[in-house]
Amino acid sequence: MSDTRTILHVDMDAFFTSVEQRDRPELRGKPVVVGAPPDKRGVVAAASYEARKFGIHSAMPSRTAYRLCPHAVFLRGDHDKYSRESERVMAILRDFTPLVEQVSVDEAFLDVTASLRLFGSGEKIAREIKRRVRETTGLTASIGVAPNKFLAKLASDLKKPDGLAVITEENKLAILRPLPVNRIHGVGEKTEPLLHDLGIHTIGDLERFPLETLRSRFGVWAGELKARARGEDDRPVVPFSEPKSISGETTFERDIRDEGRMEKVVWELAEEVARRLREEGVRGRTVQLKLRWSDFTTLTRRATLAEPTDDAARIAETALRLLRKELAADRPVRLLGVGAQNLERGAAQLDLFDQRTARKAQLQRAADAVKAKFGEGKLKRGGAV
């Protein structure tokens, strides 16, 4: 029996903006940007293909995007709507295999190896998925078919938008060798110049480069780089993975020095993080504070608790202690973030007679239920419980 797998990578085309162009026909054919308005601080979440022609891309400051294309349509976006559309797409994928690894709202890996007898080849399955996605949602997807995750993701990007590409063991090197080395996931703006210094510009250059010399520069990562250059990747498709961290952050429209306002934002972020921890059924042992100064210098500070928690007060109080140590620098703040890490699943170990703690947990669950039904604005923090 062959060990060759058949992996699909499904990537929705310009997902957020495509949903908006579908629902608002007057936007079709126009450059559309979903994200912060151009007169506010914030970044681009998604750009339509028409907007990308002007050099606009996700994570770019919205003000920069506006300078590149002043006639672009900027939308705040409707993330509840995007989540609903994502659920419809993922439901289609799970009709073909239970081995669906959703890596973001608009992309997923599928291992269809065991489904080939039922549905046909990987390419046939990909064509059927594309047809059903279009009929069900009115949107297009690009799909890569390959023996592993690295090649499948690369293939899904070869013929965008609305593309389908197949990479096999037989043709993989011919496809890989001419591509720039930054097409390997993990080779970004820091690693790419280091590879260029070694004369490595294409994946083919990397494939031919001596491993020992590569190892002297990149250590243990050298072996993985060489494996990717040969088109090798043994990572499995994992249908579900525990969250590694849960966090939230706020970018201020103007840099602030007001400690009272910062404290309010930290509490709001802590409450959001705590609610999401409870939704996931996990608690965090480490609290993280993220702080960005006005000059874009960013730092993170962490504190580990004696016991893991999903309590907003403990998270906020810990984050505020970390914040106050940094505010001695008296510098204007651009962004604040709060997160929980080292997550643990399972119920908290409560003292049988600790009625106050039990009551507090009960109130938190009730508050979560109210917010889920009526929205975040219906409950505000008052005094301590």
1-18: average pLDDT: 89
C-alpha dist (Å) from residue 167 to 146, 154, 282: 5, 9, 39
Are the C-beta atoms of residues 301 and 328 closer than 8 Å to each other? Answer: no
What's the domain range around 297?
A: 245-378
| Structure confidence at residue 383 (pLDDT) | 39
Mention every residue, 6+ apart, whose C-beta is less than 8 A from residue 368: 275, 278, 279
Is residue 260 located within the same domain as residue 368? yes
For 150-191, write each residue's pLDDT tens digit: 999 999 999 999 999 999 999 999 999 999 999 998 898 888
- Whether 379 shows a pLDDT value over 60: the answer reads no
| Structure confidence at residue 327 (pLDDT) | 87
Sheet holding 298-309, edge to edge: 245-256, 333-345, 282-293, 298-309
Residue 123 annotated as catalytic:
no
- Total domains present in the chain: 2
Which two structure tokens, joined as six digits, stand for 151? Answer: 């090649």
Is residue 362 located within the same domain as residue 335? yes
Is residue 220 located within the same domain as residue 309? no
Which two structure tokens, joined as six digits, stand for 144? Answer: 């890569």
Q: Which residues of 236-246 are buried (b: 16+ CB within 10 A; e: fewer)?
A: ebebeeeeeeb
| Structure confidence at residue 342 (pLDDT) | 87
Exposed, middle or buried by CB within 10 Å (0-12, 13-18, 19+), for 318? buried
The answer to the question of residue 285 being in a domain is yes
Calculate the CA 353 to chain-centre distance. 42
Helix (H) or strand (E) holding 272: helix 259-280
- Whether 332 shows a pLDDT value over 70: the answer reads yes
Are the C-beta atoms of residues 74 and 80 closer than 8 Å to each other? Answer: no
Is residue 273 located within the same domain as residue 337? yes
| Structure confidence at residue 307 (pLDDT) | 87
- Whether 355 shows a pLDDT value over 60: the answer reads no
The answer to the question of residue 203 being in a domain is yes
| Structure confidence at residue 280 (pLDDT) | 85
Pick the catalytic residue: 107, 268, 271, 272? 107
The CATH number of the domain holding residue 268 is 3.30.1490.100
Is residue 262 located within the same domain as residue 341? yes
The answer to the question of residue 310 being in a domain is yes
Q: Which residue did the predictor score with more confidence, 308 or 377?
A: 308
SS3 content of the chain, % helix, strand, coil (to 5): 45, 25, 30
Helix (H) or strand (E) holding 261: helix 259-280
Are the C-beta atoms of residues 54 and 68 closer than 8 Å to each other? Answer: yes
Is residue 212 located within the same domain as residue 273? no
Among the candidates 201, 229, 257, a domain finishes at 229
Is residue 224 located within the same domain as residue 316? no
29-50: average pLDDT: 92
